Amino acid sequence: MATIIILEALDKNAKVQHRHFIQSLPYYVGRGYSNDLVLDDDFISPEHIKIDLDVEGNLVTSDMGSTNGLYLFNNSQRVSSTIAKTGTEIRIGHTRLRFRKPDYLVKEALKDSLHDHLLSRVMNKRWLLVLLWVAVLSVIAIDQYIGNFNQYSIAKLLSQLLFDYIVVAVWVAGWVVANRLTTNATNFGAHLFVAGLGYASLVLLDGFSHYISYVFSMAEQRLWLEYGTTLLVISAVFYGHLRYCSLAMPKRVVATAAGVSLSVVSLMWFQDAVDDSFSNTIDLTVRLKPPVFNVVVSDQLSEFFASSATLKEQVDQETTRGRDSK
């Protein structure tokens, strides 16, 4: 026999379960112990198929009079024999078999990005981890400090943040459990870190968006700033968590993270778009910041009021719409 043939038993996802090297022909496959390959499949006959060369030198698989027969994979037509080339898949009983030759080309090895990942490198440096946690806590502390104009006490601050802490803790616990189920490791430190970083970014970006809203007079566009922030933070956080939970390719993780954040933001957008409920309040949160941030050129009084023509159009449109719908 000139070439070695490799026979692979596959599972339903085409993953190889076991692999056999056919060194000599004929080669017998069945449930009986006299076969070259013994398969424990109740739907396979004791002597099921024979693999051998025909007169023209083709590798032929033939049925040896089995109960359930021989099939080409994904074909319901029972055959008595079939020529096997490399890549040919057959089915006997409930077992899927594939032929391969040793010259079959396999793909290059994947780059191990999990262990070479920036996050992993950070996770391995304790001092960096501590430093980042200090940064996270500082951001929260500064936010709380600026946001409180009345008496400031640590106890009050902690109690205000208690709910946030509980949410973060539950979030981390969820990811740890998911991680354990998928890869057998918990990666508790990593998930805690990703969640903490996400929380701090949320606080930071929210604060930042207030300044943007003030500087560029964007109170009307408040929702878009909110969408942008949410999109950014959710995709980053999901990416961070998923990297530890799955062995999937980074591309797939990126896609999942983007998908999750996009659907969350779409849901937010949809909710806001559908909500045209009446309110007799001025639903506009105008931000006010210290004079240092007055960097945009101001209108003159007459300019400001001249631009209110657009406002009139907007209101009149709504008025007529309200009347027409009646």
Partner 1 sequence: MPMFVTRSGLILFVFFLTCFAGLQSVAAKEDSSRELFEQYKSLILQVKILYTASGKKSSIGTGFLVKQGGYIVTNYHVVADLLLKPQQYNAVYITESGKTGQLKVVSVDVVHDLALLKADLDNQAYFEFNPEPIQKGTEVYSLGNPRDLGFVILSGNHGGLVEPSLYEKIHFIGALEPGMSGGPSFTVDGKVVGVNVATAGNLLSFLVPSKHVVKMLEDARSLPQNLLVLAQQQLQANQSTYMSDFIRHPIKTTRLGRYRVPDKLSETFRCWGGDVLSKPKPYQIIEQSCESKDDIFLNEDHSTGTVSYKHLLISSDKLDAFKFYTLFEAKFSRLLMAVEGREEDVTNFSCQEKFVVNHGLHLKVVYCARGYKKFFGLYDVVLKAATVDQKKMGLQTALLLTGVSFQNAQQFAKKYLDSITWQQ
Contact residue for partner 1 among 167, 220, 249, 263 (CB under 8 A): 220
Which residues make Cβ contacts (< 8 Å) with residue 268, sequence separation at least 6?
Answer: 226, 227, 230
Q: Establish if 162 lies at the interface with partner 1 (CB under 8 A).
A: no
* Binds partner 1 (CB under 8 A): choice among 12, 15, 107, 323: 323
Minimum Å gap between C-beta 256 and partner 1 is: 38
What is the 8-class DSSP label of residue 7?
Answer: E
With CA atoms as reference, report the closest residue to 225 among 210, 242, 240, 247: 210
CB distance 255 to 243 below 8 Å: no
User: From CA 133, how far away is CA 200, in angstroms rounded?
Assistant: 10
- Burial environment of residue 279 by CB neighbours within 10 A (0 to 12, 13 to 18, 19 or more): exposed
Specify the residue, 67 or 319, whose C-beta has the smaller distance to partner 1.
319
- Angstrom distance (rounded) from CA 298 to CA 33: 92
Q: Beta-carbon neighbour count of residue 52 at 10 Å?
A: 15
Q: Compute the least distance from the CB of residue 213 to partner 1, in Å.
A: 9
- Write down the least CB distance from residue 297 to partner 1, Å: 8
Work out whether 318 is an interface residue with partner 1 (CB under 8 A).
yes
- 97 CB neighbour count, 10 Å cutoff: 22
**CB 207 to partner 1: min, Å:** 10
Closer residue to partner 1 in complex, CB, 171/214: 214
Name the minimum Å distance from CB 326 to partner 1. Answer: 8
271 binds partner 1 (CB under 8 A): no
Please give the residues from 277 up to 296 whose contact with partner 1 meets the rule CB under 8 A. 278-292, 294, 296
Of residues 78-97, which lie at the interface with partner 1 (CB under 8 A)? none
Nearer to partner 1, 74 or 300 (CB): 300
d(CA 120, CA 116): 7
Interacting residues toward partner 1 by CB under 8 A: 145-151, 214, 217, 219-220, 278-292, 294, 296-302, 304-305, 307-308, 310-312, 314-316, 318-319, 322-323, 326
